[in-house]
Homo-oligomer: A and B are copies of this chain.
Amino acid sequence: MDRQEVPLGGARVSIQDVARHAGVSAMTVSRALRQPEKVSESLRQRVAEAVDRVGYLPNGIAASLSSSRSNVVGLILPSLRNSLFADTIQGISDVLHRTGHHLMIADSGYSLAGEEEAIRAFLHQRVCGLILHNTWHTEGARRLIAQIRVPVVEIGDLTPEPIDATVSYSNFEAARAMTLLLARRGYRQIGFVTLPLADNARSVERRRGYLAGLAESGLDAAPSLILEMPGGVGSGAEAIGRLHAANPDIDAVFFAGDVLAVGAILECQRRNLAVPGRIAIASFDDVDLLSYANPPVTTVRIPRYDIGQRSAEVVLDRLSMPAPTPARLDLAFQIIERGST
């Protein structure tokens, strides 16, 4: 913070002012506002009027400090730019909103160090709970969390040993299931396009699932069938070109993330590669676009909004009743088979 800042203006109306105007003590105002049932009807009215008249806005910061209770939940995502997180954010926000909680957001920039920094910043700000998309963390991050002891929910992957709780689906099982489906449909050279693997448990798990699926189907995992690409429509298009060049007989490609598959479909249109006649396309993440593509794309549907909702609920639950044991909530994925396979 290298800028000179001016103090918060306005709202120089404290609970004391309300108290004076209502002819009662500050404590009584506080009660009238937070536990109206514990106060006489006439008093409640007088206080309400005074509040209106002086334009009182309670100071949540003071309340937090005084009560040692924060009502802010911190959410840390790999990136804010990725639209896939939008549903999850909305799910979290909807739940928090109902209980008067607030949502703070930060991104880790797809790095574990970035996550640790964000965690530190949030704990500094005394969030009452943490929702982390990552399931891998630095030692420092784990130490911080152990020290502060707030509820932590990991949502990016159904990790076997969560710090505190996890609400997610199994990336491994999802990728495995899709690969098995492709094999069952008779495809023999199944390519795989993964998002960057560095610092990313989800990508690694998906690749593991793909390899497991291949192995179980007695298929070969030729290195030339696997491609690591950044997300985005363009990457998907490029991947088709590269996989096709390296494997002339490739008959299916499983895109493990982002909107890669959309780019692939469009590229196949341009190259006149019949989908699925010449090459089948499968995707991960049910962007609604996939169902409108020509042909509609087979994909793994992730319950993103639910993950948001449930993870926020778990934070709130653990806030009111700290649980001694880690919790694992499996919100199952779903394979949606469409025309592209």
- A residues with a Cβ closer than 8 A to B are 1-11, 55, 57-62, 64-65, 67-72, 79-83, 85-87, 89-90, 93, 97, 99-107, 120-126, 128, 144, 147-150, 232-234, 237, 259, 262-263, 266, 269-270, 288-289, 292-294, 316, 319-322
Which of B3, B57, B120, B121 interacts with A102 by CB under 8 Å? B121
Q: Give Cα distance in the complex from A7 to B86, angstroms.
A: 30
A6 partner residues in chain B, CB cutoff 8 A: 319-322
Q: Give Cα distance in the complex from A85 to B105, angstroms.
A: 14
**Copies of this protein, total:** 2
7 A-B pairs closest in CB distance: A83-B83, A10-B149, A9-B149, A7-B68, A10-B148, A80-B90, A1-B100
Residues B99 and A1 in contact, CB atoms below 8 Å apart: yes
Residues A10 and B65 in contact, CB atoms below 8 Å apart: no
Q: Give Cα distance in the complex from A106 to B98, angstroms.
A: 12
Residues A150 and B7 in contact, CB atoms below 8 Å apart: no
Q: Give Cα distance in the complex from A152 to B59, angstroms.
A: 19
Which of B60, B67, B107 interacts with A124 by CB under 8 Å? B60
Which of B1, B7, B147, B263 interacts with A57 by CB under 8 Å? B147
Q: Give Cα distance in the complex from A149 to B7, angstroms.
A: 11
Q: Give Cα distance in the complex from A233 to B60, angstroms.
A: 42
Which of B64, B107, B294 interacts with A93 by CB under 8 Å? B107
Q: Give Cα distance in the complex from A69 to B80, angstroms.
A: 26
Q: Give Cα distance in the complex from A58 to B59, angstroms.
A: 20
Residues A104 and B103 in contact, CB atoms below 8 Å apart: yes
Residues A292 and B320 in contact, CB atoms below 8 Å apart: no
Which of B1, B79, B87, B269 interacts with A294 by CB under 8 Å? B269
Residues A233 and B288 in contact, CB atoms below 8 Å apart: yes
Residues B61 and A1 in contact, CB atoms below 8 Å apart: no
Q: Give Cα distance in the complex from A11 to B70, angstroms.
A: 14
Q: Give Cα distance in the complex from A327 to B237, angstroms.
A: 43
Given A57-B124, A104-B102, also A93-B69 (CB < 8 A): no
Residues A292 and B316 in contact, CB atoms below 8 Å apart: no
Which of B2, B57, B125, B128 interacts with A60 by CB under 8 Å? B125
A294 partner residues in chain B, CB cutoff 8 A: 266, 269-270
15 pairs from A and B in contact (CB 8 Å cutoff): A1-B71, A5-B319, A6-B319, A8-B70, A9-B150, A9-B322, A11-B149, A57-B148, A80-B86, A102-B104, A102-B122, A103-B105, A233-B289, A266-B292, A266-B294
A100 partner residues in chain B, CB cutoff 8 A: 1, 121
Beyond known contacts A5-B69, A5-B128, A10-B148: 8 more, CB 8 A cutoff? A3-B99, A5-B320, A8-B68, A10-B149, A61-B70, A83-B83, A97-B106, A259-B289
A55 partner residues in chain B, CB cutoff 8 A: 147
Name the residue of chain B whose CB is nearest to the CB of A317. Answer: B3
Q: Give Cα distance in the complex from A11 to B2, angstroms.
A: 26
Cβ distance A38 to chain B, nearest Cβ, rounded Å: 15
A82 partner residues in chain B, CB cutoff 8 A: 86
Residues A4 and B320 in contact, CB atoms below 8 Å apart: yes
A70 partner residues in chain B, CB cutoff 8 A: 8, 61
Q: Give Cα distance in the complex from A316 to B100, angstroms.
A: 27
Which of B57, B80, B81 interacts with A120 by CB under 8 Å? B57
